Amino acid sequence: MQRYFISKLGQSVLLLFGVLLLVFVMVRITGDPAALMMPREASPEDVEAFREAMGFNRPLPLQFVDFLSGAIVGDFGNSLHFKTPAMPMVLARLPATVQLAGVGLLMAIVVGIPLGLVGGFTPGSLVDSVGRGLALLGQSIPNFWLALIMILFFAVRLGWFPSFGRDYWNSVIMPAFVLGLPTMGQIVRLTRSAVLEIRGEDFIRTANSKGLEPGTIYTKHVLRNVAIPLVSVIGVQFGYMLGGSIYIETIFAWPGIGQLLEQSIGWRDFPLVQAIAIFTSLVVLAINLFTDVAYAVIDPRIRYDT
Amino acid sequence: MTTILQVENLVTRFYTLDGVVYAVNGVSFNLQKGETLAIVGESGSGKSVTMMSILGLIPIPPGKIESGEAGLLLDDPPRDLLRLSPPELRRVRGGRIGFVFQDPISSLNPVLTIGEQITESLTKHLGLSREKAKAQTIKLLGYVGISDPELRYKNYPHQFSGGMRQRVMIAIAIACSPEIVIADEPTTALDVTIQAQIVELFQRLQKEMGMAIIWITHDLGVVAGIADRVLVMYGGRVAEVALVDDLYELPQHPYTVGLLGALPRLDATDTKRLVSIQGTPPDLLVPLNHCPFAKRCEYAFERCRAEIPALRPVGAGHRVACFYDLQKGKPRHD
Amino acid sequence: MTPDELTQPADNLLDVERTFSERLAYIGRFFWRDKSGIIGLVMFFLVVFAAVFSPAISPYNPLKQNLRDSKMLPAWTAEGSWDHPFGTDNLGRDIFSRVIYGARVSLTVGFFGVLIAGTLGMVLGAIAGYAGGRIDSVIMGVINLVLSLPYLLFVVFIAAILGRSLINVILIFGITDSPVFARVTRGEVLRIRESGYVESAISAGARWPRIVFDHIIPNLIGPLITLATFEMSAMIFYEAGLGFLGLSVPPTVPSWGNMLAAGRKYLTSYPWIATFPGLAIMFTSMGMNLLGDWLRDVLDPRLRRSRK
Ligand SMILES: Nc1ncnc2c1ncn2[C@@H]1O[C@H](COP(=O)(O)OP(=O)(O)OP(=O)(O)O)[C@@H](O)[C@H]1O
Ligand SMILES: [Mg+2]
């Protein structure tokens, strides 16, 4: 278990280094980051002065070392737009995004798991059809569009929910639902197929040969095994939601990281974009690590093997 | 001798997309108290389906038990396993009849401790409290030859070797002192040396607990060593049944002769495996109206291709389903 | 595309009961499944048709503005007219024609994106699986890196850096999506190497090209076609999303994402402007997902069930 954890931690650190390298390269991929970051109408002298100030004309390895040492202490430079350090601004937006993704994930779990379970236990039933329909919709509806349609109906026409912002207790419901819908579909699909698969396993036949009650077999023998793939998919999906909230936050004017990203792209504020990319990757990597640990806790084959 | 289980005319089919699989076509046999009945036959001859049908363990659908009886004769009045209500059947499974499956790797639940997987049977059938059940489980583990049972109680299946897992499976099967244990190829998945240990374990358990064992196998060498009687299956039917010595000495069915001919003499120890006989096994997708072995049988004559032979007695406790008399070298007349 | 989608068991196709009504219900279910694939295929072909024959189908030039006729309602409303079936947008452009032309952008991105991702991924995966050792570790390291990133965020990031152009969008998807194909290819190559088949074939005198064409490609083709369908659908989705943020093709190009972005401003007063491109995306995506699910059941050898 310890060795497993340490190796996963090592992998995460390596991946984080990869992220830093990637971001560093990407900002320089057009060859001239200064031109990228300055307004188009800026004079050549201004651009040159900016290049000098940002250190973009120094040798690349030197720039990278600077970038890395800054990253280690959490310094990603100043936002061009606000002229203040980028990282604290990203951090300030974190709670809103976590709230949004958290509520969305909760909705996805609360609806998705029961639908998937019933679907897996009674394939072909009405509930199963509902679940599979939901999974298909979750996969096919573009969520940026669904967000617009929901605002139109539930906020503008019916007035049930505020159409933007984060000021009321129910502000979170629509954006969280839209963000969580694809995940809901994924969870239904996965739970359903896991139940179907595990129901056919030899050890379920053994459990039957012991004369156990069907209720015991489902709750004890089937569910615990279904939980294993479910945990990993939930972890992956949570990371996906945190990194994928840009449309939803933009449309609902939700003051989280996604909205900040959209704004900073509009401002061509690449130090801020860069800080967002790195920070969000860090959070996603942390969630993946946490998922791996949770996985080990419920799967004894990993817990005791390594 | 008392008969404890009487199976009559069991028919089980599977309704698949490819058509109906006629897996078991009227199998009858009985089981005596405390005996070991070996069931042999090539792959697909319906051995597992027969046994699982008796306990309602085949998947329904696609499976369906079409007809038959499986009487538990010790009960007063005798009860038919195929017609028990689900709760009654669950009391028989694990409580009165234990089952050991072929593959100990996939037959244990990977996320539950082996202790848990034994105790749940004890609490269900014997109504033991959790502490009592745990103490009993530890005793059982020691009994089937697992060292450090207190420690092993908390282990998970993947922490055991294949042979040890099969011992755990056996502990599960015998946990509630059943009258019958059905072992479906319990040694096939194991190394040769481990196989011998498992066979020994079964023999010891049987001597000490006095249960009857139905032993499904391909290994005719083992059969000679442990069985009292042998049932030979072919194409979902019984071909021949006899006391083990009679069967080896005077096999009456051409298929049995083929099986034994394929068996090296008992002094040769290496491969006692059933070597296949000329021809292919019957296609179970078509219902037969003649002897299923006729196509591969060197003695077959017109009647064999027109009628299904019934089991008929040919000696004390010896019955065969064949129209040809191997002893006399000519068709039987009845 | 998550691993579970590749291993989801085919529905209980073996469930057959004997009574007539149950059998009928079963056949109905089975047909529904097949039909869902056929429906998906038809939906996909409709989109392809629209893209290929856009000039012939669309009644207007999608770029032509006509401010006098702007913000017209769809035909089936009281104020609408069949001159403009889906109405017109804020600049008086015909929405129906724009939706038809939008299919061109989406399918171009999806097709070339998958072509690049598939080719690159297959080559990388084959090299990794075949070479093993350090080369494998490096390639797999990069693949794992890309797969563990917040994908959408990085796509947005790169698109913002590179600027709006069709080629850029295709390249972004082609490159960032190649790891998915690489992983599947590598897995298959490894599986075949480990099966011992290759050794026996080599000792029997077979040469590598023969092995590749006779055994590796036939095994790969099913999973890869299935994967390509899902990935193409995902790319169409992401392209529209980028367009919505103003990061895909230039604003003058009639793409579904651009139309959505423009329509968003008029959401409350002229909602149909944003509705139709959204429905078009959903239609395409649903068709391709249905098709993909069906292809997976039919083509994936791991799922093909024999009777036993
Ligand atoms: N779930 C099922 N669906 C369809 N057919 C089945 C199913 N289970 C068993 N069968 C068929 O029933 C027939 C008998 O199978 P069975 O498992 O009883 O053979 P067996 O004698 O135990 O063989 P083996 O020695 O390989 O275990 C086979 O043809 C098999 O294909
Ligand atoms: Mg069997």
pLDDT, residue C22, reads: 54
pLDDT, residue A4, reads: 83
Q: Could you read off the pLDDT of B146-205 as tens digits, one per residue? A: 888 888 888 899 888 888 888 899 899 988 888 899 999 888 777 778 888 888 888 888
pLDDT, residue C253, reads: 85
| Number of structural domains chain B divides into | 1
Q: Which of A201-215, C12-26, C64-78, C221-235 has the lowest mean pLDDT?
A: C12-26
Cα angle: C108, vertex C109, C114; to 5 degrees: 105
Is B301 within a domain?
yes
Query: Which helix (H) or strand (E) segment is C153 a member of?
Result: helix C151-162
Q: What is the mean pLDDT of residues B8-16?
A: 89
Q: Which of B119-123, B321-325, C241-245, C300-304 has the lowest mean pLDDT?
A: C300-304
| pLDDT confidence bin for C235, thresholds 50/70/90 | very high
Say what the alpha-carbon torsion angle B205, B210, B216, B222 is, to the nearest 10 degrees: 60
pLDDT, residue C226, reads: 87
* Pairing of the two strands B36-40 and B229-234: parallel
pLDDT at residue C272 is higher than 60: yes
DSSP annotation string for C252-272? TS--HHHHHHHHHTTTTTSTH
| Pocket mutation for ligand 1, best pick of B21, B107, B215 (most atoms within 8 Å of C-beta) | B21
* Three-class DSSP category at B260: helix
Q: Indicate if ligand 1 lies below 6 Å from the C-beta of B109.
A: no
| Pocket mutation for ligand 1, best pick of B17, B47, B49 (most atoms within 8 Å of C-beta) | B49
The better pLDDT of the pair C209, C251 is held by C251
Q: Could you read off the pLDDT of C37-95 as tens digits, one per residue? A: 888 889 999 999 988 988 888 887 777 777 777 777 776 777 767 777 777 777 778 88
φ, ψ at A211 (rounded to 5°): 80, 20
Range(s) of the domain holding residue B255? 3-96+212-331
Domain ranges of chain C: 34-195+222-307
| pLDDT confidence bin for C304, thresholds 50/70/90 | very low
Cα angle: C9, vertex C219, C119; to 5 degrees: 110
Cα B188 to ligand 1 centre (Å): 16
Q: Could you read off the pLDDT of A31-72 as tens digits, one per residue? A: 788 877 877 777 888 888 888 888 888 888 888 888 888 888
The residue type of B171 is A
Q: Does C15 touch chain B (CB under 8 A)?
A: yes
Percentage above 70 pLDDT, chain B:
93
pLDDT at residue B273 is higher than 50: no
Which residues are CB-contacts of B216 (< 8 A; sequence separation ≥ 6)? B38, B39, B40, B47, B48, B51, B182, B183, B184, B185
Q: Does C14 touch chain B (CB under 8 A)?
A: yes
Q: Which of B206, B33, A185, A160 is CA-nearest to residue C4?
A: A185
pLDDT at residue C33 is higher than 90: no
**Domains of chain A from N-terminus onward:** 94-305 (1.10.3720.10)
Q: Does C144 touch chain A (CB under 8 A)?
A: yes
pLDDT, residue C32, reads: 61
Give the C-alpha separation, B321 to A17, whole Å: 75
pLDDT, residue C217, reads: 75
Is B203 within a domain?
no
* Three-class DSSP category at B154: coil
Q: Indicate if ligand 1 lies below 6 Å from the C-beta of B62.
A: yes
* Three-class DSSP category at B22: strand
Cα C154 to ligand 2 centre (Å): 53
Q: Does B106 touch chain A (CB under 8 A)?
A: yes
pLDDT, residue B270, reads: 44
Percentage above 90 pLDDT, chain C:
29
Give the C-alpha separation, A101 to A116, whole Å: 21
Q: Which of B21-25, B264-268, C44-48 has the lowest mean pLDDT?
A: B264-268
Q: Which of B276, B21, B188, B13 is CA-nearest to residue C308?
A: B21
Q: What is the DSSP letter of B58?
A: S
| pLDDT confidence bin for C17, thresholds 50/70/90 | very low
Domain CATH code at residue B262: 3.40.50.300
Q: Do C267 and A152 touch (CB under 8 A)?
A: yes
- The answer to whether residues B331 and B325 touch, using CB atoms and an 8 Å cutoff, is yes
| Ligand number, closest to the Cα atom of B218 | 1
Sort out which chain C residues have CB atoms less than 8 A from B17's CB and list them: 13-14, 16, 307
Is B297 within a domain?
yes
Is B285 within a domain?
yes
- The answer to whether residues C66 and C200 touch, using CB atoms and an 8 Å cutoff, is no
CATH architecture of C34-195+222-307: Orthogonal Bundle (1.10)
Q: At what angle do helices A2-27 and C151-162 cross, to 10 degrees?
A: 20
In the predicted model, residues of chain A with pLDDT beneath 50 are 306
| pLDDT confidence bin for C7, thresholds 50/70/90 | very low
**Cis amide prior to C74 (ω within 30 degrees):** no
Is B149 within a domain?
no
Give the C-alpha separation, B101 to A203, whole Å: 10
Give the C-alpha separation, A248 to A256, whole Å: 10
A161-183 exposure pattern, b = at least 16 Cβ within 10 A, e = fewer: bbbeebeeeebbbbbbbbbbbbb
Cα angle: C17, vertex C19, C24; to 5 degrees: 80
| pLDDT confidence bin for C307, thresholds 50/70/90 | very low
Cα B259 to ligand 1 centre (Å): 20
Q: Indicate if ligand 1 lies below 6 Å from the C-beta of B284.
A: yes
Token pair listed for C8: 């989801």
